[in-house]
Amino acid sequence: MTATPQSRREIPLEEATELFGPGDSYLRLVCSRLGVTAVYRDGWVIFSGPQEAVDKAAGVIDLLHESYTLTGRAGEMVLYKALDFPAPRQQGVELAVPGRAGTVLPKTPGQSEYIRAMRESEIVFSIGPAGTGKTFLAVAAAVASLRDGLVDRIVITRPAVEAGENLGFLPGDLQQKIDPYLKPIYDALNDTLSPARLRRSMENGVIEVAPLAYMRGRTLNDSFVILDEAQNTTLTQLKMFLTRMGFRSRVVITGDITQIDLKPTTSSGLVKIQGILGAVEGIRFVYLGEDDVVRHPLVQRIIAAFSRYSAPEEQ
C-alpha cells in the first residue's frame, strides 16, 4: 500500500497562532485551496495529500514564517500572495526601512524582479496596473538607499493632471495645491519613515516632493529620483525629466498605461518611450501584471475583468 505523501514544517507553539490565523482560518484556507489536510502536533504542522500540493502548502507556511520573522506580521495579504507565489523567495531582495513597514518583502515574482532592477540599473521603468506596488516599492527602495548612505536625498514628483485640473485654479498656496495629487506618495513615505524623521527630512530638503513642472532646469546629483504616474506625461515631459539625472543618482519611473488621463490618450510619453529607450544599456523596463496585485484579492479580479473588456469607443 502506497503511503500518502506528506510535508512537514516545525512551527513553535508561540508562533502557531499568528501563522495559522484566528481560529486556524489561514491554515484552513491553505488546505481548502490546495486540497490537502493538516495536523498540528508537538510543534510540527504536517500536510498530507498529493505530493505537489503538500510541497506547495509547506512553501506557503515557509513564506508566512519568513514574513513573521522579518516583520512581526503574517496577515491575510501575505497569505493570499503566498498561495499564488509559494516558491522560496530569492535572498537579498528585501528592503530594510526605518519606518513601521520594517523589512519590505516582495510578494510576487514580478515584485522581486522590480526590486532587483532598482538595485542593478540606474534607470528603471515600472509599468503595471493599480495595486502592484509600483509606487510603494520605489519609495521603499529610495528610503533604503538614503538610510544606507547610497544617496544624499530623495526627490519624488508626479504630474498634476489626474483630475483634469490646472494647479493655478486650485485654492491655497503651492503646497496646498499639490498635496491632493501627492497623497499616495506621502502614504508610502509615512509607511517607510517615522513621522518625526519624515518631517525633519522634508524640512531640511533631504526629501523633496514636488510637481513635475518644477523639475525643469535642474541637475539632480546624489539623488534617488522617482517619477510617479508617468502615464500622464508627454514624451517631451519625460525627456525633460530623464535629462535631469546627475552623477551618482538613480531614477525610477512608474505608471499604468491603462489609466491615461491625457487627451488624447495616444499622447502618453510612457507608451512611446518604450520603443525609444527599450534597447538602451543601463535602462530597464519591468512589467507588472494582474498576478502582482497585492491589494484585496477582488482588485486582481477587477483588473482581469477590465483587461478582457473592450469598450466600443476603444475599438
Residue 89 domain flag: no
Residue 269 domain flag: yes
Domain boundary among 34, 55, 84: 84
Q: Which residues pair with 224 in a beta bridge?
A: 154, 250
Tell whether 154 and 42 lie within a shared domain.
no
pLDDT at 172: 60
Cβ(41)–Cβ(13) below 8 Å: no
CA-closest candidate to residue 116, choices 101, 95, 143, 131: 95
Domain boundary among 84, 108, 128: 84
pLDDT at 88: 54
Grid cell of 202 as nine digits: 522634508
Tell whether 39 and 104 lie within a shared domain.
no
CA-closest candidate to residue 284, choices 274, 270, 293, 269: 274
Tell whether 120 and 140 lie within a shared domain.
yes
HSE-CB of 78 using CA atoms within 13 angstroms: 26
Q: Tell me which residues of the chain have a pLDDT lower than 70.
A: 1-2, 85-92, 161-181, 295-297, 299-300, 303, 309-315
Tell whether 171 and 255 lie within a shared domain.
yes
pLDDT at 164: 44
Q: Which residues contact 28 (CB under 8 A, 6 or more apart)?
A: none
Enter the pTM of the model: 0.72
pLDDT at 163: 41
Cα–Cα distance for residue pair 127/191, rounded to 1 Å = 22
Please report, for the domain that includes residue 60, its CATH number. Answer: 3.30.1370.10
Cα–Cα distance for residue pair 307/315, rounded to 1 Å = 13
Q: Which helix (H) or strand (E) holds 34?
A: helix 25-34
Q: Which residues pair with 46 in a beta bridge?
A: 8, 39
pLDDT at 67: 79
Residue 90 domain flag: no
Tell whether 116 and 138 lie within a shared domain.
yes
Domain boundary among 59, 84, 109: 84
pLDDT at 73: 76
Instruction: Quickly count: other Cβ atoms within 10 Å of residue 14's Cβ.
Output: 8
92 sits in the region (left: phi over 0; alpha: psi -120 to 50; else beta) called left
Range of the domain at 54: 6-84
Residue 1 domain flag: no
Residue 297 domain flag: yes
pLDDT digit string, tens, across residues 220-255: 999 999 999 999 999 999 999 999 999 999 999 999
Cβ(298)–Cβ(136) below 8 Å: no
pLDDT digit string, tens, across residues 160-180: 764 444 555 555 665 666 666
